[in-house]
Structure 1
C-alpha cells in the first residue's frame, strides 16, 4: 500500500481506477498478475511498476498474485 490506495490516486493509480480500466479487458488479469510479480513498464505516467523483489517483498507466487489481482478488479 506504499504506492496504491483503494480509492485515491497517490504515487500510482488507486485500485478503483485500475479496476475501472481493466475489469472487462480480456487477459487483463494475467497481464496484471505478471506485472505485480515481475514489474513492468509504466501505463499510468512515468513510474514503472517495480517487481515484487524490487518493492522489498521478496518473491510473489502466481497464486498470491492471482488472489491480489482478483481483489483489485472487484473494487
Structure 2
C-alpha cells in the first residue's frame, strides 16, 4: 500500500514539474519573440539587468508582479541605472504578465 501511495506522489510530482517546465519554456519563448532578450538575459546583464537579478530584487515584494507589468508596458528608467527601457506597447498585456510571472520564478 505504501508503495502505491509513494508511486502516486512521485507521479504527481513529476507531472507538476514537467508542467512547470513547459510553462517556463513557453514564457521564455514568448520573451524572445517579444524582443526582451535584445536587452536582457537570464543570468547576465546586457543593456538591462539579468532576469535573475530582477527576481532577486523583487523577491519579497508582494506587489512586484503588478509593478513590473506596468513598468514593462510603459517603459522607464532609474531603477537599474540611466539606461531607459522603452515602452513595450507592442506586447499584449497577458503576454507581459506571463513573462513577468516567469521572471519572478527565477
Q: Name the TM-score class by shorter chain.
A: 0.7 to 0.9
Aligned counterpart for 2:60 among listed residues 11, 24, 32: 24
Instruction: String of CA shifts for 1:21-65, please: whole Å, max 9, x gaps.
Output: 012212111010011111123201111211014xxxxx2222111
Q: Tell me which protein shows more helix as a share of its residues.
A: 2
Aligned counterpart for 1:42 among listed residues 62, 75, 78: 78
Give the equivalent residue in structure 1 for 2:95: 64
Q: Is the 8 A contact 1:13 1:44 kept in 2?
A: yes
Aligned residues: CA RMSD: 1.2
When the two structures are superposed, what TM-score results if normalisation uses the length of structure 1? Answer: 0.84
- Deviating 4+ runs (over 6 angstroms): none
* Greater radius of gyration (CA): 2
**Structure 1: gaps of 5 or more residues:** 54-58
Give the equivalent residue in structure 1 for 2:45: 9
Give the equivalent residue in structure 1 for 2:16: none
Number of matched pairs: 70
